[in-house]
C-alpha cells in the first residue's frame, strides 16, 4: 500500500467513524424530539447552505420548518427561533435557561470571554459589570449629565460634513459616524478624543474595525472542533494580535491615569468613567478588578460603535432612497426647531416622525441579526421540543422584522406604521427586538436610543443629501458579519439646506 492509499484509508475511516457517531447522537436527540429542520449531510451537516447571509437563508427555510427549527452546522447543533411567540418563550418565559452565551473563536482569545460582559454567563461577575456600567454610564441621570459631551461630538461631525458640503464632495457615512462614536466613548471613559476624521492615521479606529471584522467571520473551527487547534482560517492568530494591541493601548492610558492620580492634588481629578472605576477598584470592597478594565472597554467599543454606525448608515440609505420620507422628516424638524441647529437631545421627544424613521430602520435592518448567540447548558423544553444541552440558540430578529403575517408590506420602508402605534424597540414587543430582550438585553440601548435620532436629525436638518453624480439606483445588498451592514458603503453628497 503506497502512502497515498494509506492516508486515503485513514481519512475514510475517520469520516465513517465521525458519521456513525453523528447518527448515534442524532438518534439519541431524536428520542428527545429535536425541533424539525433540514436533513444534515454526513459530518458537514447543513453548513454549506448557510455560509453567506445566513439571516436570509434561515428566514427562507423557517417558512418550511417553522419558528423553532434545528440546523446542523457541522458539529454545532443550532436551534433557530423565528417568531415573536417563540422569542417570548426564549427571552422572557425561560430567560435564565437561554442566557448563557456561546463565545466563538475570535472572542475567546486571551481568555477575553472569561472577563467579558458580553460573553460571561449570567453569574455574579457579569451582574456586577452590568451594575457598574448602568450606574456610571447608562442610567438616565448619567446620560442627562453627559449630554454636553454628545453635543460636542455631534458638532464635530457636522463640521466634518460642512467641509464636504463646501467642497461638493461625498461623505462616507459609516466611517464618519464611526469616528464620532469612537470619540464619544473615549471621551466618556478618558476625557479625550482618540479618533480623527478623514484618512489620517487612526490606530484605534483601525484596530476596532479589524476586531469587528474578525469577530464577524464565520469560523470553521467553531463548527468542526477537531480542526480548531489548527486555526485553519487564521482567525485566532489575527484576533490575538489585534486584541493585544488594543489592550496595550488601553493599559498605557490606564497607567498614565494612575500616575497622574498619584501625583495630582484631589481637586485636579478627571470626572470621567475611568476615574470612577479606578476608585471602586481601589475601594475596600474591591467591587471591580483593575485588570478587567481593558476587557470592558473592548466590549463597549466593539458592541457600541459598529452596531450604531451600521444602523445610522441604513437610516440615511432608506431616507435618500425615499426622498418623500426624507422631506417629511426635514419638514418636521423645520416646524419644531426652526432654522437653528438641533442642539438639544430633549427636542427629539417632540419629533415623532424622526423617531418612527429610526424604529422602521431597526425593524428592516436590525444590526445584530441573530442577537448575540446563546447556548443552553442543559436540556430545555420549548413548545413540545427539546433544545439539547450544548446547542447554540439564535433568535432571527432580522426574519421577525420582515414577517408578512405581522407587518403589512413588510419589505417596504414605511415609518408611518409607527406613528399611531405603541410598539417600541425596548424589549417588550417581541415582534421588534433589535436590542434583544430579557436579562441580556443590549446594555447600551439607552445611549443608542438617544444618539441615533440625535445624529440623524442633526445631519438631515443641517444639510440636504444626494447620491454621487452618475449613481441612479441605490444598491441595497447587505453583508452578514458581526453586524448586517450595507455591502457597498453609502457615499452621499451634502448640499446646503434651504
Span from 159-167, 295-303, 459-467, 469-477 in contact with ligand HEM (CB under 6 A): 295-303
CB of 237 to ligand HEM, least distance (A): 25
Q: Which of residues 86, 221, 243, 371 is near ligand HEM by CB under 6 A?
A: 371
Q: Which of residues 37, 67, 444, 453 is near ligand HEM by CB under 6 A?
A: 444
Question: What is d(CA 442, CA 352) in angstroms, rounded to the nearest whole number?
Answer: 23
Instruction: Report the 3 state secondary structure along 274-319.
Output: HHHHHHHHHCCCCCCCHHHHHHHHHHHHHHHHHHHHHHHHHHHHHH
Query: Which residues are CB-contacts of 247 (< 8 A; sequence separation ≥ 6)?
Result: 110, 294, 298
Sheet holding 491-496, edge to edge: 171-172, 491-496, 463-467
Near ligand HEM in 102-121, by CB under 6 A: 117-118
Whether the CB-CB separation of 360 and 46 falls below 8 Å is answered with no
Check residue 157 for interaction with ligand HEM (CB under 6 A).
no
Number of H helices, E strands in the chain: 17, 12
Check residue 186 for interaction with ligand HEM (CB under 6 A).
no
Which residues, in sequence order, are bridge partners of residue 81?
Answer: 68, 395
Check residue 448 for interaction with ligand HEM (CB under 6 A).
yes
Span from 59-67, 190-198, 241-249, 435-443 in contact with ligand HEM (CB under 6 A): 435-443
Cβ nearer to ligand HEM, comparing 118 with 154: 118
With vertex at residue 219, the alpha carbon angle to CA 10 and CA 130, rounded to the nearest 5 degrees, is: 135
Query: Which residues are CB-contacts of 16 (< 8 A; sequence separation ≥ 6)?
Result: none
CB of 29 to ligand HEM, least distance (A): 25
380-409 burial code (b ≥16 CB/10 A, e <16): bebeebbbbeebbbbbbbbbbbbbeeebee
Check residue 447 for interaction with ligand HEM (CB under 6 A).
yes
Check residue 294 for interaction with ligand HEM (CB under 6 A).
no
Q: Which three cell numbers stand for residue 11?
A: 481519512
Check residue 300 for interaction with ligand HEM (CB under 6 A).
yes
Question: What is d(CA 104, CA 87) in angstroms, rounded to the nearest whole number?
Answer: 22
Size of the site for ligand HEM (CB under 6 A): 25
Check residue 299 for interaction with ligand HEM (CB under 6 A).
yes
Check residue 274 for interaction with ligand HEM (CB under 6 A).
no
Span from 2-10, 254-262, 442-450, 474-482 in contact with ligand HEM (CB under 6 A): 442-450
Whether the CB-CB separation of 67 and 359 falls below 8 Å is answered with no
Check residue 394 for interaction with ligand HEM (CB under 6 A).
no
Q: Which of residues 401, 434, 453, 494 is near ligand HEM by CB under 6 A?
A: 434
Q: Which of residues 187, 219, 311, 355 is near ligand HEM by CB under 6 A?
A: 311
The verdict on whether residue 133 carries a ligand-binding annotation is no
Q: Which three cell numbers stand for residue 317?
A: 440609505
Q: Give residues in contact with ligand HEM (CB under 6 A).
A: 117-118, 130, 299-300, 303-304, 307-308, 311, 367-368, 371-372, 434-436, 440-444, 447-448, 452
Residue numbers in the known binding site for heme are 442
Amino acid at each position: 500500500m503506497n502512502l497515498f492509499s494509506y492516508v486515503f484509508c485513514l481519512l475514510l475511516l475517520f469520516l465513517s467513524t465521525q458519521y456513525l457517531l453523528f447518527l448515534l447522537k442524532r438518534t439519541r436527540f431524536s428520542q428527545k424530539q429535536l425541533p424539525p429542520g433540514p436533513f444534515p449531510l454526513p459530518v458537514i451537516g447543513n453548513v454549506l447552505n448557510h455560509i453567506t447571509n445566513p439571516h436570509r437563508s434561515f428566514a427562507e427555510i423557517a417558512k418550511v420548518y417553522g419558528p423553532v427549527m434545528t440546523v446542523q452546522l457541522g458539529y454545532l447543533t443550532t436551534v433557530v427561533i423565528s417568531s415573536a411567540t417563540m422569542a417570548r418563550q426564549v427571552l422572557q418565559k425561560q430567560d435564565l435557561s437561554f442566557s448563557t452565551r456561546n463565545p466563538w473563536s475570535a472572542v475567546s482569545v486571551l481568555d477575553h470571554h472569561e472577563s467579558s460582559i458580553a460573553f460571561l454567563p449570567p453569574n455574579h461577575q457579569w451582574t456586577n459589570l452590568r451594575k457598574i456600567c448602568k450606574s456610571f454610564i447608562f442610567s438616565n441621570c448619567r446620560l442627562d449629565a453627559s449630554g454636553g459631551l454628545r453635543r460636542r461630538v455631534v458638532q464635530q461631525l457636522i463640521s466634518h460634513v460642512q467641509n464636504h458640503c463646501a467642497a461638493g464632495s461625498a461623505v462616507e457615512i459609516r466611517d464618519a459616524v464611526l469616528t464620532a462614536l469612537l470619540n464619544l466613548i473615549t471621551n466618556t471613559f478618558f476625557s479625550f478624543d482618540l479618533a480623527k476624521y478623514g484618512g489620517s492615521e487612526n490606530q484605534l479606529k483601525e484596530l476596532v474595525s479589524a476586531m469587528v471584522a474578525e469577530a464577524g467571520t464565520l469560523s470553521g473551527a467553531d463548527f468542526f472542533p477537531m480542526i480548531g487547534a489548527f486555526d485553519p482560517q487564521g482567525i485566532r492568530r489575527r484576533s490575538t494580535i489585534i486584541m493585544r494591541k488594543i489592550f496595550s493601548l488601553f493599559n498605557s492610558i490606564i497607567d498614565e491615569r494612575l500616575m497622574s492620580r498619584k501625583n495630582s492634588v484631589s481637586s485636579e481629578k478627571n470626572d470621567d468613567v475611568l476615574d470612577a472605576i479606578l476608585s471602586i477598584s481601589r475601594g475596600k470592597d474591591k467591587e471591580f478588578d483593575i485588570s478587567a478594565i481593558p476587557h470592558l472597554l473592548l466590549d463597549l467599543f466593539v458592541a457600541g460603535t459598529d452596531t450604531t454606525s451600521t444602523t445610522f448608515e441604513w437610516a440615511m440609505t432608506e431616507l435618500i432612497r425615499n426622498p418623500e420620507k426624507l422631506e417629511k422628516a426635514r419638514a418636521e424638524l423645520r416646524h419644531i426647531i426652526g432654522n437653528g441647529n438641533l442642539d438639544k437631545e430633549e427636542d427629539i421627544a417632540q419629533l415623532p416622525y424622526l423617531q418612527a424613521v429610526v424604529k422602521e430602520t431597526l425593524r428592516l435592518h436590525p444590526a445584530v441579526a441573530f442577537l448575540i448567540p446563546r447556548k443552553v447548558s442543559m436540556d430545555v423544553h420549548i413548545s413540545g421540543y427539546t433544545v439539547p444541552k450544548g446547542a447554540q440558540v439564535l433568535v432571527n430578529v432580522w426574519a421577525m422584522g420582515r414577517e408578512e403575517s405581522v407587518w403589512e408590506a413588510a419589505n417596504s420602508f414605511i415609518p408611518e406604521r409607527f406613528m399611531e402605534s405603541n410598539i417600541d424597540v425596548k424589549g417588550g414587543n417581541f415582534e421588534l427586538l433589535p436590542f434583544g430582550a430579557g436579562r441580556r438585553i443590549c446594555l447600551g440601548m439607552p445611549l443608542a436610543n438617544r444618539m441615533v435620532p440625535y445624529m440623524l436629525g442633526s445631519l438631515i436638518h443641517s444639510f440636504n443629501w444626494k447620491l454621487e453624480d452618475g449613481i441612479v439606483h441605490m444598491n441595497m445588498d447587505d453583508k452578514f458579519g458581526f453586524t448586517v451592514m450595507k455591502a457597498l458603503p453609502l457615499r452621499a453628497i451634502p448640499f446646503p439646506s434651504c
